[in-house]
Structure 1
Amino acid sequence: MANKKSPTKKLLKILGIIVVLIVVLGVVAKFAGWLDGGPTEKSVETEIIELRTITQIVSASGRIQPEVEVIIRPDVSGEIIELAVEEGDFVRAGDLLVRIKPDIYQAQIDNLNANLLTQQSRMEQARANMLQAEVEYEQNKQLYDQDLISDLEYKQSLNNFEAQKANFKAAEYQIESARAQLRQAEEELEQTVIRAPQDGTITQLAVEQGERVLGQSQMAGTEMMSVARLEQMEIEVDVNENDIVNVSLSDTASIEVDAYPNRSFEGVVTEIANSAEVTDQGSAEQITNYKVKIRITTPHNLDQSSADFLAINVSENPEQNFVPNFKPGMSATVDVKTNTVYNVVAVPIQSVTVRDFATDTTTTETDASSIRNESENRLGSQEDFRKVVFVNEEGTAKRVEVETGISDNTFMQIMSGLDAGQEVVTGSYRVLSRELQDGDKITVSNNNN
């Protein structure tokens, strides 16, 4: 019974092996293109090249701050007896802000006035002594000329006259010193009244009436308040060292403020730092940034009674009537427009990819040898990466080496290699970055073909 089944089992095994071989050969033939006469076409997306205007952007983030902000510190110490403002008040230049108790400074002035009168009296006494010494000297000189007095007496009268003149001159100097001390005391008395140095808003108030403050004659005084021009706001951002070379003074910028989503404001670069700020110095995470200030040129923080506010509200468009109210410390993002080129050949950024020409199987042996020599000389290896774009030529992908220029968020300038009107492959990313090769058959999946 077992001997009769043996040939059948062998036949089934042979048939199974044959079926498996046929399936394997079918799969291989399918992928190798033996069954459809060639390799499988790759599905791609394309776009027609156009001449475009491209603006290079440098993006950075920072915080809004007043362009002009003055910190008020007292020059003299004392108790605040009057605080004339509150935080948020708008003041004009010369308005009263703080009055410090003046009693001690007034008493000092009275004392110095008395001292000045004393010094004046001493000067008059010194003048009288000088005049008396001068008379005695003149008399003795006449007597000496007639040999009626000794040489010693004559010289004593001369020395006394010279001494009295010196005393009188010293008295004059003492009066000037007293007057200078009096002027200083009077200035200190004036400094007990603190007025606004400019038009602006009280953005910070750190003291209360009755507090004692420290003057800044010998050290930093008490920071009492800040006065800022809120209608002149700016944004201070950190720009990386790789981008700072592209930023110039007067470059325009587009500003987005977190507090006002879906709105864009205008700005201009007013200041670029010359010194870098380095964080994590010496480590792998070292970052080198430069401070850049961007003035907000869109009208903002306007007084409703101002001429600028009334001029803006003449428009019937509510969007144009909008006047933002920026506050110090608000977060913002800026896009600085560093360079613009007009009517240039441009392709989508994703169209530009990189290929290693040194490992290119379609390169001739002579070209491959020259590429190897060149890349070995430059890099010490056999890699030769170049920027390329794939062009659709009647259903075939043609690889074109290109030279690129500036780019914005969407398009990249092509300096050489392509012309307007050509159809370039734009996707998919997987096909462009890894799979697509020069000479591959492609089928376009969009409406550009």
Structure 2
Amino acid sequence: MKKKVTILILLFIVVAFGASMYYLYQKNAEDPVVYETETPSTQTIIKKTVATGSILPLEEVLIKPNISGVIEEVFVEGGDYVKSGDLICRIKVVPNLNALNDAKNGIDEAKIALDDQLRNLERQNGLFAKGVISKVDLERAQVTYDQAKQTYGAANKRYDIVKTGTAKGYGNAANTQIRATVSGMVLEVPVEVGNQVIESNNFNEGTTIAAIADVEKMIFEGKVDESEVGKITEDLPLEITVGAIENTVFDAVLDYIAPKGNAENGSIQFEIKGTLKKQDSVFIRAGLSANASIILGRADSVLALKEALVQFDGKTKKPFVEIETSDQKFERKDLELGISDGIYVEVKSGIQAEDKIKVWNAVEPDEFAQNN
């Protein structure tokens, strides 16, 4: 009985040893894991965020009439350059009947008063000639007559202004002549001959006759999301690209960030403005849509790695890579990183330009052989 147990134990040991040897043989027969490597490169890394908007004049002035009427003649069109004081259009006044009637009544009343003072003056002249009244009384009567005469003339001018918008002697000050208040380019003239316009006053902004702006001073006006506004500050450089102008980048400077955001399409948007640097060779039309790349940081010609090659320690969260020391043998190197553009990251220290960095994606031996 003991002999059988001994034989079984020995047989088990032999089988277990054979199985172990077979497992080790199969293990050694498997292809080894192969890792590709990449070397660092020299890159110019620009960290930026993008805002969408449009190109607008820094200052745009809307020319509005100070009298209501009908456009009689237009002297400019979009694209014309004007100087302050140049005539833009002429308005034909359509008088208000109530105001016209009041002005006519004013003339009649002033004429009655003038005739009365004329008779009084003639009477005072006769009395003075007879020595009945003093010269002072005569002069007082003359002054009263002159005042009545002036009032009559003013009433006539008021009637002409109500009826035609101007009066004799006013020349270029006539309300019917609409003139430019600033120098610049006429961006648009939204009225035509025959259009009725409304005067600008405290209760009505009035009809726009023309829009004038200095097109040499243009700005980018756009919006950024609340998730990006915390990353930007005033005086950051901008790179403006305009969809209608290909292969051209315009430089600008961010000079305004709205202190308050507005809700749009479920997110909070903040308005930004940037002043474009003058471009002598390219004419930028007002209102063109544009994109602004806000440069948050820039590193020129620095040693860089693809971000996918960088690993982070599970405990310290510090970045590191593994560099090849011999064939498929790697050693860990801690890194000091700089700015990143989302694809490449600046390496300040930790590796050299000639180091081979382990790619953390194992490849099949056949594939590795083909690549090499």
Same fold by TM (over 0.5)? yes
Please give the alpha-carbon distance, in whole angstroms, between the structure 2 residues aligned to 1:336 and 1:403: 25
The answer to whether 1:210 aligns with 2:191 is no
TM-score normalised by L of structure 1: 0.53
Distance 1:238 1:115, change over 3 A: farther
The answer to whether 1:329 aligns with 2:287 is yes
Q: How far off its partner does 1:206 sit?
A: 1.7
Identical residues among aligned pairs (%): 24
Q: How far off its partner does 1:209 sit?
A: 0.9
Q: How far off its partner does 1:91 sit?
A: 1.7
1:34-433 alignment, distance < 5 Å: 34-35=28-29, 39-47=32-40, 54-102=45-93, 104=95, 114=107, 190-217=174-201, 218-280=203-265, 286-300=266-280, 323-340=281-298, 346-353=304-311, 357=314, 371=315, 387-394=319-326, 395-400=328-333, 402=335, 404-408=337-341, 411-414=344-347, 418-421=350-353, 423=355, 425=357, 431=360
TM-score normalised by L of structure 2: 0.63
Please give the alpha-carbon distance, in whole angstroms, between the structure 1 residues aligned to 2:325 and 2:108: 103
Distance 1:332 1:351, change over 3 A: farther
| 1:166-201 alpha-carbon deviations (Å, 9 max, x no partner) | xxxxxxxxx9xx99xx7xx79x85433221122222
What is the number of residues matched between the two proteins? 294
Distance 1:418 1:325, change over 3 A: same
Please give the alpha-carbon distance, in whole angstroms, between the structure 1 residues aligned to 2:312 and 2:240: 34
Contact preservation (8 Å) 2:333, 2:351: no
Q: Could you list the runs of 5+ residues in structure 2 that have no partner in the other structure?
A: 1-18, 118-150, 167-173
Q: How far off its partner does 1:212 sit?
A: 0.9
Could you tell me which amino acid in structure 2 is paired with residue 261 of structure 1? E
Contact preservation (8 Å) 2:324, 2:358: no
Higher strand share: 2
Distance 1:393 1:260, change over 3 A: farther
Question: Paired residue for 2:138?
Answer: none
When the two chains are superposed, the root-mean-square deviation of aligned CA atoms in Å is: 4.4
Please give the alpha-carbon distance, in whole angstroms, between the structure 1 residues aligned to 2:44 and 2:329: 29
Distance 1:222 1:424, change over 3 A: farther
Distance 1:220 1:264, change over 3 A: same
Contact preservation (8 Å) 1:70, 1:226: yes
Please give the alpha-carbon distance, in whole angstroms, between the structure 1 residues aligned to 2:61 and 2:356: 57
Q: How far off its partner does 1:102 sit?
A: 4.2
Could you tell me which amino acid in structure 1 is paired with residue 232 of structure 2? V
Please give the alpha-carbon distance, in whole angstroms, between the structure 2 residues aligned to 1:274 and 1:195: 37
Secondary structure of 1:423's counterpart equals: coil
Q: Could you list the runs of 5+ residues in structure 1 that have no partner in the other structure?
A: 1-21, 125-174, 281-285, 301-322, 358-370, 372-383, 437-442
Q: How far off its partner does 1:271 sit?
A: 2.2
